[in-house]
Chains A and B, each alone.
Chain A
Amino acid sequence: MKPHRDPSEFFRPLREARQPETFWTGFWPSVRVGIRAPELGRHTLLTPMKALLLGSSAGVMVAAALLVLGFLVAPALKQAPAPSAHPTAALNASMPSREGMASPPVMEELGSPSARVYTFHVGEKADATEVILIVDEAIDL
């Protein structure tokens, strides 16, 4: 019986294996993407300080929006606004010929069926100006 072949000798030609150039198509681009991915990630990820600042800014913006809605828009929608104690009292007081006006004039209708545009004339003569409010009761805050 013939002696068994040495597996080291048998498999050594695998060392000469070469892949065709087409095999490597896309290899380097994939490596480059892998290299760049963590770098891009570092640039786009927020540091804790940036996240804190961004979060604070967002909070301030939300609070400001709520204040505007709470003190300006909501009272204007009421048919019988509360007297002087309300912050809009000055605005109401400055509106000419308010008596007999059931509600502010609707200037135009928007796409939303509940959205309205109101205009108020504030001040007199040279100081006269218009305050325009766009209100949509359907907005869910």
Chain B
Amino acid sequence: MEDGELIRRAQAGDLQAFEQLVKGWREQVFRIARQIVGDEESAKDVAQMVFIRLWQVLPKYREGGSFPSYLHRITVNLAIDFCREQTRRPADSWDPAGMDSLPALPAGAEESLSTAELQRIFEIVARRLTPRQRAVFVLREIEEIPTEEVAEILNMRPSTIRSHVQEARKILQESLARLFPEYARRREEPER
């Protein structure tokens, strides 16, 4: 069943239809929340809150609007709220002792870097980003959502989004070079 039909049924109070909707979107909602809040368990809590909020506001949703944007806006807002409630920005939670638990870096193994290891590296280097910078980077650069749509989700101008993306990329590149130099360098292009 397509999202449109599931949404219509859920708006009429059909919990089974809503469950299907949740199953279809939970991965992406969780993924976005995780990159913003920075840890798995908190992200799962935020994802649950997102769907509870979605159920509450779904009657107000009008067909014709972009449902993914609608859902992503709820996700980003709740994730940023969560970060604020924790009264810790990711940058403030920097723990040098945590360096001991960094993933092992076998030489030349970057091709086989697992998603879990990549996730761990992102969580470490993204600590210097504000939650909003994280949101912009995740939506635009990881999820590859068009700039105009990200601007709509975050209620910002597209130029502001582009500016945030550049800033986030710069910070991440610096952190990557400092903390994970073996991953930070571009692979050598084969000689032609």
Contact = CB atoms under 8 A, between A and B. Distances in A.
Interface string A53-75: 00000000000000000000000
Interface string B29-73: 011000100000000100111011001100000000000000000
A127 B186 CA distance: 110
A5 B176 contact: yes
B115 interface: yes
Category for how many chain B residues contact A = 35 or more
Given A11-B142, A13-B115, A14-B115, A4 B173 contact: yes
Given A2-B185, A8-B141, A28-B19, A34 B26 contact: no
Interface of B: 15, 18-19, 22-23, 26-27, 30-31, 35, 44, 47-49, 51-52, 55-56, 115, 118-119, 122, 125, 137, 141-144, 169, 172-173, 176-177, 183-188
Contacts of B31: 14-15, 17
With most chain B CB atoms within 10 A of its CB, the pick from A7, A13, A16, A30 is A7
Interface of A: 1-8, 10-19, 24, 27-28, 30-32, 34-35, 38
B186 A5 contact: yes
26 contacts: A2-B186, A2-B188, A3-B186, A4-B184, A4-B186, A5-B185, A6-B169, A6-B173, A7-B141, A7-B176, A8-B169, A10-B118, A11-B141, A12-B142, A13-B115, A14-B31, A14-B118, A17-B31, A27-B22, A27-B26, A27-B44, A28-B22, A28-B23, A32-B15, A34-B52, A35-B18
